[in-house]
Amino acid sequence: MLTSKQYAGPIRPAYFYWLYSCIIKLMSIEIIVRPDIKLGVWQGMGGAITEAAAYNFAKLKPERKKALIEAYYGKDGIGYDWGRISIGSNDFCLEPFEYTKRTSLKDFSIEHDRKWLLPMMEMILAKKELKIVASPWSPPSCLKYTHMTRFGGNLKPWRYKRYAQYIRKWLDAYADEGIKVRYITPQNEPHAIQKWESCIFSYRGQRRLAYKCLADELADLDTQILLWDHNKKKFDRVAERLLNGKYVTKYGRDEKVCGLCYHWYNGTHPDKMWEVREKYPDIMTISSEMCCGWSPYNAKNWANAANPYYFEIFSDINCGASAWIDWNMLLGWDGGPSYCGNYCASPVILNETSDDFILTPIYDALKKFSKMFPAGSEVVRCENPSKEVAAVARKTKKGYTVVIANTSDEECAQEVTIRLGKTEKQLSLERLEIVSIDI
């Protein structure tokens, strides 16, 4: 038993608080806010408006269509500012289709899109103007060696200019429908051979198409070009090969080719992302596709999908990403339709038994983050060596706001210390919790 005689007085509660604080500090994950490393302005989030999403959207009653658009684009919803569209068919269509079958492009038509896609786009754009990224999954079959849009293949070397003209025709046709496309990528996943629409382009081929053919064809438009549109595992090598070399030196990396976009599917790779940011600080980088696969819907299990979303988005922002775009916005209970069986999850799923939709835990996670870290935020870097939590920081009028999420798969809280210079704050984050702290 402790006595006042032994310790010259009773042990006060402040001592135990100090001891507890020391233990927590030793156990906690340290996040360092770096106001000296400014990463530009966060331009917000968006989702892909695929034919599958539009097909499911058409099944909703008019009032539920409006509710879904409000959930995604409204002030009380996520507040999406971005969208992504496929130029031609992809794996999330009801069946493969093409806008043209002739190399002359004389039969070019977007009539196919009038059934599902264009009506949904019209309703969305009546609500909010979007920054739209458009991507072809394959050139028309008549321009490829294989004469197929599926299973990879290559664009014929003498058809590069014609392919650029094809993309321009699509842009003009969509402009006639009132849809302005801000950015295009020359090819979705240019190093992947898929059972759905795909085409292989070498780095040199991508440079030739972008800097020479597309830059010329789009010279009178405001539309800019984003390169790559594939995974991040070799992102440093990708940047080196696509932003330098033949065609770049001849035609120049001007305002027409404005940056790189990428997908999530083979990992986050913050080391590669940061290397590109440090070497090319003037280019735009955008996450153009992410999806956590598919499993039968269960609210508890799907809550776990919030973790990779948080970790990916936060990591990208800390490496200078300007925006983030999700994959399908509205899929069925089965993760489709997908004519090739490539089923996926989406933040909102169609409840076909009641002609309504379900906002999943993925949607809830995106909405929470969007309110804490809105578009227009001035981003500063957060240094965080842990995979158990993710954090981003933005400048405010009074200081800085740090958004932190517990991204651990463990069923336990995470102790966190946030440090800004000599100022620090401590907090405990429960599993799947996301909070914002002013510091």
DSSP string, 337-348: --TT------SE
Angstrom distance (rounded) from CA 235 to CA 230: 9
Mind listing the pLDDT tens digit for each residue in 281-329? Answer: 999 999 999 998 777 788 877 888 888 999 999 999 999 999 999 999 9
Owner of token pair 């085409």: 199
At 22, the pLDDT band (50, 70, 90 cuts) reads very low
Task: State the pLDDT at residue 295.
Answer: 76
Distances (CA, A) of 243 to 199, 225, 268, 423: 21, 12, 21, 40
Q: Looking at domain 43-375, what is its CATH homologous superfamily?
A: Glycosidases (3.20.20.80)
Strand 82-87, strand 45-48: pairing? parallel
Query: What is the average pLDDT score of the chain?
Result: 92
Angle at which helix 270-279 crosses helix 235-242, to 10 degrees, equals 30
In the chain, CATH 3.20.20.80 covers 43-375
Task: State the pLDDT at residue 14.
Answer: 60
Taking a C-beta distance cutoff of 8 angstroms, is the pair 390, 429 a contact? no
Angstrom distance (rounded) from CA 212 to CA 305: 41
Q: Is the pLDDT of residue 10 over 90?
A: no
Owner of token pair 């578009």: 375
At 64, the pLDDT band (50, 70, 90 cuts) reads very high
Task: State the pLDDT at residue 250.
Answer: 65
Task: State the pLDDT at residue 197.
Answer: 98
Share of the chain above pLDDT 70, in %: 92
Q: What is the DSSP string of 414-435?
A: EEEEEEETTEEEEEEE-TT-EE
What's the full length of the chain, in residues?
A: 439
Q: What is the DSSP string of 266-301?
A: T---HHHHHHHHHH-TTSEEEEEE---------HHH
- Look up residue 411 and give its amino acid: E
At 27, the pLDDT band (50, 70, 90 cuts) reads low
Mind listing the pLDDT tens digit for each residue in 259-274? Answer: 999 999 999 999 999 9
Q: Is the pLDDT of residue 114 over 90?
A: yes
Task: Pick the range with the lowest mean pLDDT from 13-17, 31-35, 155-159, 183-187.
Answer: 13-17
- Which of 60, 222, 197 shows the shortest CA–CA distance to 131? 222
Q: Is the pLDDT of residue 48 over 90?
A: yes
Residues 6+ apart with CB under 8 A from 438: 396, 398, 399, 400, 401, 402
Mind listing the pLDDT tens digit for each residue in 118-154? Answer: 999 999 999 999 999 999 999 999 999 999 999 999 9
At 9, the pLDDT band (50, 70, 90 cuts) reads low
More confident residue, 311 or 27: 311
Q: Is the pLDDT of residue 23 over 70?
A: no
Q: Is the pLDDT of residue 11 over 70?
A: no
Q: Is the pLDDT of residue 2 over 50?
A: no
Q: Is the pLDDT of residue 8 over 80?
A: no
The whole-model pTM stands at 0.92
- Which of 92, 137, 134 shows the shortest CA–CA distance to 116? 92
Q: Is the pLDDT of residue 190 over 80?
A: yes
Angle at which helix 306-318 crosses helix 361-372, to 10 degrees, equals 30
DSSP character at residue 92: T
- The token pair that represents 31 in the structure block: 């996040």
Angstrom distance (rounded) from CA 342 to CA 323: 25
